[in-house]
Structure 1
Amino acid sequence: MASAPAKVSDWRKKAIQSIQARCSEKGWQTWRKQHMLKTFSKSSMTELTDDEIKRLYQTIWNKK
């Protein structure tokens, strides 16, 4: 994922879609929103910086 922005032009959109899909599949949407407010003080993924998207992506995919 670190080199994703250089390799994939729409990596941000794909990362957000991936996060949304994973959270919907696992029933984590409420948790994700609370986590974003607590960690980034933001309520929408569109407000996150590229680094914050990367951090959220890793958090979601490492969550069990």
Structure 2
Amino acid sequence: MGELRNMQSAPKKIENWRNKTIKSIQARCSEKGWQEWRKEHMAKKFGKSSITELSDEEVKQLYQTVWSKK
């Protein structure tokens, strides 16, 4: 599912792509205790404090960053 979400055409092909991707980011960050890190990262990289303020491209970038973080 992760590979499918990263496809260039994913937002058009997957129903509710944005909501599902945001939920995945939130779940991963909660599971790993990274919520504060996520907020700081978004503020620094995108200048935004809420995940809902991000563009689709920014959500995609955040998804890739969160899922590659160790």
Q: TM-score range by the shorter chain?
A: over 0.9
* 1:36 counterpart = 2:42: yes
Q: Offset at 1:6?
A: 2.0
Residue 9 (structure 2) aligns with: 3
* 1:16 counterpart = 2:9: no
Instruction: Give the gaps of 5 or more residues in structure 1.
Output: none
Residue 3 (structure 2) aligns with: none
**Residues matched between the structures, number:** 64
* RMSD of aligned residue pairs (Cα, Å): 0.7
- Per-residue CA deviations over 1:1-37 (Å, capped at 9, x if unaligned) read 2221121120000000000000000000000000000
Q: Following superposition, which runs of at least 4 residues in structure 1 exceed 6 angstroms of deviation?
A: none
Instruction: Give the gaps of 5 or more residues in structure 2.
Output: 1-5
Q: Identity rate of aligned residues, in percent? A: 67
